[in-house]
Amino acid sequence: MRYTLTARWLHWLTVAAVLVIGTLGLWIGWAPPDDEAFKLRLYNIHESIGILMLPLTAFRLFWRWTHPPPPAVPQPAPLQAAAWASHALLYLMLLTMPVVGFLATNAWGFPLRIFGLVPVPSPIGRDEALAPVLTSLHGWMALVLGLVVLIHASAALVWHGAIRRDGTLRRML
């Protein structure tokens, strides 16, 4: 039995958004362009898509609550617990990372305008002591998210798709 079409679209939209956000975050962090205006556009795209992850993830959780997923393929209890924990951690990161990133941006003194159009009020304002702490926390959260995404994708593709061939992967395709 498959997930609903809406659940599948929300999942793959989230995957695409995380890939774009992550790519931009790595680019900005490790090889920032010399052109300051271009770099600021990259930041704005990263932050804009990042902040939109909040309503997207909230809607995903609402959808999951109102349209429960199909029954999982039976697994040993430790694997079921690991699957539950990884999904919970994915949702936690998708909800908290945008908030921490947004607060870091505010603490550095940069207001957010979603895609340069919609201003988002700054809840904390410039705070030079807090800014590096939030930025570091956001970076560590990105590493955790990346690791959990890697585990999640590996479990789906390798464990369920190639080794067990139990249909779990097809439920989200």
pLDDT(150) > 90: yes
Residue 81 tokens, joined: 């617990």
Residue range 122-150: average pLDDT? 96
- Could you tell me the pLDDT band of residue 110, with boundaries at 50, 70 and 90? very high
Between 1 and 131, where is the model more confident?
Answer: 131
**pLDDT confidence of residue 98:** 97
Residue 92's closest CA among 132, 148, 40? 148
Using CA atoms, how far residue 125 sits from 5, 108, 116, 119, in Å, is 41, 8, 19, 14
pLDDT digits (tens, 9 = 90+) for 111-121: 999 999 999 99
Please, where are the H alpha helices in the chain? 5-30, 36-66, 77-107, 130-154
CA neighbor of 146 nearest in space, from 94, 96, 71, 70:
94
Interatomic CA distance for residues 121 and 20, integer angstroms: 24
- Distances in Å between the Cα of 122 and the Cα atoms of 36, 51, 125, 172 are 23, 13, 6, 37
**Which pLDDT score, from 0 to 100, does residue 90 have?**
97
Q: Is the confidence at residue 72, as pLDDT, over 90?
A: no
What is the structure's pLDDT at 82? 93
Is 1's pLDDT higher than 90?
Answer: no
What pLDDT shows up at residue 34? 92
Please say if the pLDDT value at position 23 is more than 90: yes
Pairwise CA distance, residues 23 & 61, whole Å: 25
Question: Could you tell me the maximum CA-CA distance found in the chain, to the nearest angstrom?
Answer: 53
**69 close to 7: Cβ distance less than 8 angstroms:** yes
